[in-house]
Structure 1
C-alpha cells in the first residue's frame, strides 16, 4: 500500500451565499492541488444549502446542484486531484431533497455517490433518506477502495462494517456537526460533549475497522456552536491530525496506509468478519 496526501478543508458555509461559498471552495481545492495533495475533502452542505423548510424558495436554491457538481468534476480534472466536495442538497423532479456526497476522480469521473441514510433530527422533515433496502457501497478510486458516510452516520458502526466487508480501506465523513447539536439537555450537562463524541467516534471507527477515517467538519463562529475538530485517524496510532478549533482552514495530511495492514495483522478483524463462523448479521 502507499501513503496518501489528503487535504482536509474545514470550511465555513455562509448561509445563503452559495456562489460565494463555491468560489471559495474552488480556491481551497486549487491550493490543495498546488501542494501535491491527491485528495481534497470539503464538509457536508458546504454550499450553505441546508434546507430547513418546505418553502419553494428555500428548495429552489438546491435546484442547480448538478451545475456545481459538473464544475467540481472539471476542476478535479484540470488540477489533477481527487475531490469529495462535501455534500449537496439535491432537489429532484419529484420535489424531494436528498443529501448526497460524491467522490470525483482526478480525471473528472465520478467514482461513487452516497445518499445519507441516518438523517440528523432537523433534516428529517425536509430531506429524504436513501432507501432502507440499499446497502452502503464501497467503490474503487485512484486511492484504493473507499467508502463514504455523512455526519450522523458516524454514530452507526453498522455503516462502517458494511463498507469494510466490501474491502474499503478509507472511509470519508463530510459533516455539519456543532456543539449545540447536543440540545439544551446535553449542553447543560456538558457544553463540549459533542466534541468528546467526535474525538471518540472517529478514532474508535478507525481501530474497530482497521481503516483510515477522514472526518471533515464545517468551520464557523464558536459562539454560534460550531465545533470544527476535523481530523484523520488510523488504527494503532489514533488521531494523526486534527483541527483544534472551529476556524476555517486547510490541513495537508500524510496518511500512511501501510498501518492498516499492520493493524489487521494484530487484530484480524477483517479476517474474522470474512469467515462463515462470523457471529453477527451484517451480511444482507
Structure 2
C-alpha cells in the first residue's frame, strides 16, 4: 500500500557568507515549488550560509566568523522559514550551520505545515574531516527518523548517502522517505548511490544538490535536473507503515546476515591485513 505525495527538489547555488540573499532566494524557490503543488520540498545542504566550513578549515576565515554566521534552532532565519512552511502548508527540509553549546553542526531541519520543527539531523559522515579543536564542525551522533504530517522521514546530508547503513538504520527506525540535502558531487556515481539507497530500502528518495537534483520512487528515477536554479517536482509513492508483525519479519530477514560470526570474520581479516602490512 502506498500514499502519493508531490515532492520537490531545489537545485540552488548559494552565495557564500550571504545569509540574507540566500534566504531570499530559498524563499522564492520554495514559493514557486509550492505554487506548482509540492507538499514536500527539499533544498541543499548548508544553504543559508553557503556551506562555508571549508573557509574556516583552510583559514580563509576565522573560527569566530563561523560562530557569527551560524544560528541556533530558535534563530531568526529558522523562524522565518517556520512561518513560510505554515503559510504554504508544506513540509520543508533545508540545511544550515547550527550553533549549539557543544559546537557548530552541519544540520538539516524539517519544518511542518503548522510551523513546527518536526526534527533535525546532524551530518554524521563529514567529508572534510573533523578534529577535537574544530568546534565549528562537530560530528552528528544520532540516526533517528522524524515524524511529519506526510509520514516518517530519514535524512542523509550529502556524504552520509555513501554509507548504506546510514539509510538502513533510519528505515529500520520507520523512515518511509529518505531526504538528501547535498552540496557536493555531481558525477554519475552519486546518482547511482542515491538510486541504490532507494532500491535497497524500498522507499522513495528526494535529493537536492547544488547543480543537480534527483527524485526516485519505487526504485526508478521520476525527476532529474542538471544545473542551478532548477525545480524538479514529481509524485512519489510512499509506502504505508507495515504492521508490527510485518516490520519485525522484514527486519529479521535482513539482520540474519549480521550475526556475531560476521564480526569475528571481520576481526580476522583486519588481523591478517595488519600482519601483511608489518612484513
TM-score under structure 1 normalisation? Answer: 0.78
Contact (CA 8 Å) 1:165, 1:270: kept in 2 or not?
no
Task: Tell me how far apart the structure 2 counterparts of residues 196 and 276 of structure 1 sit (CA, whole Å).
Answer: 28
The CA RMSD measured in Å over matched residues stands at 2.6
Deviation at 1:67? Answer: 1.2
Please say if 1:67 is aligned against 2:76.
Answer: yes
Unmatched runs of 5 consecutive residues or more in structure 2: 57-61, 261-279
Task: Tell me how far apart the structure 1 counterparts of residues 254 and 223 of structure 2 sit (CA, whole Å).
Answer: 37
* Equivalent position of 2:234 in the other structure: 253
* Equivalent position of 1:27 in the other structure: 28
Please say if 1:233 is aligned against 2:216.
Answer: yes
Alignment of 1:239-278 (within 5 A): 239-243=221-225, 245-257=226-238, 271-275=249-253, 278=256
TM-score under structure 2 normalisation? Answer: 0.80
Deviation at 1:270? Answer: 7.9
Contact (CA 8 Å) 1:210, 1:269: kept in 2 or not?
no
Task: Tell me how far apart the structure 2 counterparts of residues 14 and 78 of structure 1 sit (CA, whole Å).
Answer: 26
Alignment of 1:34-73 (within 5 A): 34-47=35-48, 48-51=50-53, 52-53=55-56, 54-63=62-71, 66-73=75-82
Q: Which moved more, 1:46-55 or 1:150-159?
A: 46-55
Task: Tell me how far apart the structure 1 counterparts of residues 65 and 52 of structure 2 sit (CA, whole Å).
Answer: 13
1:18-58 per-position Cα deviation (integer Å, ceiling 9, x unaligned)? 10110111111112222221111110011215223143134
Task: Tell me how far apart the structure 1 counterparts of residues 254 and 18 of structure 2 sit (CA, whole Å).
Answer: 52
Deviation at 1:123? Answer: 6.3
Please say if 1:127 is aligned against 2:137.
Answer: yes
Deviation at 1:111? Answer: 1.2
1:100-157 per-position Cα deviation (integer Å, ceiling 9, x unaligned)? 11111111111111111111126665400023xx4x1112211111111100000110
Deviation at 1:277? Answer: 6.5
Contact (CA 8 Å) 2:213, 2:232: kept in 1 or not?
no
Task: Tell me how far apart the structure 1 counterparts of residues 254 and 185 of structure 2 sit (CA, whole Å).
Answer: 41
Please say if 1:280 is aligned against 2:261.
Answer: no
How many residues align? The count is: 245
Unmatched runs of 5 consecutive residues or more in structure 1: 180-194, 219-227
